Structure 1
């Protein structure tokens, strides 16, 4: 089947055994400026080095936060891709403008799929191509939201938490929810120390898609009323080190991951 000429296709394989979750704190009012630069100028240059730009998002609860995820085929591939991009012409051309929007870009978690098949399935995922100097449509908000929950765990408890989550929560998914991916901390040493990561973290992360913020609220209410979910959550408490972080995210117009994924 021939795809429309205005659609850029992505590989159909399960995406990326190594993933970065990046949260950037931006200067007030500069988020759309960064998204303009990122979506319009920086995606292709990164993917040309072998990365997969999985998704980029506006945080619905923090107006000066930009959240994004990118993937790599291995830790060595990460090292080589990052060296090629950050030493290359695309970043050199746009780094000053991008960096001018940021206060902090070091909040980064290095991750791997929580179990075989738990990574993002990007089969058929597409982003509109941008021809020439065309810019992404900043006000094109996709109807769905992505919710990332970051569970902070004591070392040695992540295997049990992951197993229980995979087995026990599968039957608790409501009609409003779709589990897009799940990750745990990648323990390997940072292969590109020029870009810091939160190396002292031990986390389990779920990534879920919802048709709307209302659908997410219904899902949360259904879980809160579920005895099975209460049992799962009660059993998980001794292994947690801090409260769960919940990120409610709206995909940008060039994000591969969204409710359509």
Structure 2
């Protein structure tokens, strides 16, 4: 899987019992339609430990193209037809990190889907220089923005490194990361949905 220039890590909190409803709608209506306007969906996941969470990754070639692609999709016919149904499942859609790859590539899909782990590590400042110490192959770092599409907020004022692995085992935190960490990392053990490219 080619690694894009920009990646959004999106974590949604849903109304109780409505995750499968959103997954079905998302896979049927929103995967191909987003790819068609230049923002492919790299991964869609259930989080088994959090039954009301839906996690997904969306990609863009670069920051310049992000705003136009988002505008085209969210003013287009597919979102107009299905936005009310999608939004009705959600409590919060604002937990979003804007990221850029700093090490490695997205792994190719496995023949048989397996677990995926995404870990978010929080630092006291930009931490790109620490990426090479990661035990995980793929590392993404906070993109400084700007967010050219304010209708969809992103988390600002944070410095993170996000690692992605086709395994839910949590490796030891590198000493260089621990020295600069400002809080405990978030580990997301995830189950890919049927159409997820990252699986």
| TM-score, normalised by the number of residues in structure 2 | 0.92
Deviation at 1:164, TM superposition (A): 2.1
1:105 aligns with 2:75: no
The within-5 A match list for 1:233-252 is 233=175, 235-252=176-193
| C-alpha distance after superposition, 1:62-102 (max 9, x if no partner) | 00000000100111211111000000000000000000000
Give the conservation status (yes or no) of the 8 Å contact 1:51–1:71.
yes
The within-5 A match list for 1:76-91 is 76-91=64-79
1:61 maps to 49
Going from structure 1 to structure 2, the CA distance change for 1:17 and 1:152 (only over 3 Å counts) comes to same
Deviation at 1:236, TM superposition (A): 2.4
1:213 maps to none
| TM-score, normalised by the number of residues in structure 1 | 0.71
Partner of 2:182, secondary structure, is strand
1:30 aligns with 2:9: no
Give the conservation status (yes or no) of the 8 Å contact 2:128–2:141.
no
Partner of 1:78, secondary structure, is helix
Give the conservation status (yes or no) of the 8 Å contact 1:114–1:204.
no
Partner of 1:148, secondary structure, is strand
Deviation at 1:237, TM superposition (A): 2.1
| C-alpha distance after superposition, 1:96-133 (max 9, x if no partner) | 00000000000000000023xx23255xx59xxxxxxx
1:150 aligns with 2:120: yes
Gaps of 5+ in 2: none
In the alignment of these two chains, the number of paired residues is: 199
The structure 2 residue matched to 1:206, chosen from 151, 157, 163, is 163
Q: 1 CA distance for matches of 2:29 and 2:145?
A: 30
Gaps of 5+ in 1: 1-11, 127-141, 170-178, 211-215, 224-228
Higher helix share: 1
1:4 maps to none
Q: 2 CA distance for matches of 1:152 and 1:89?
A: 38
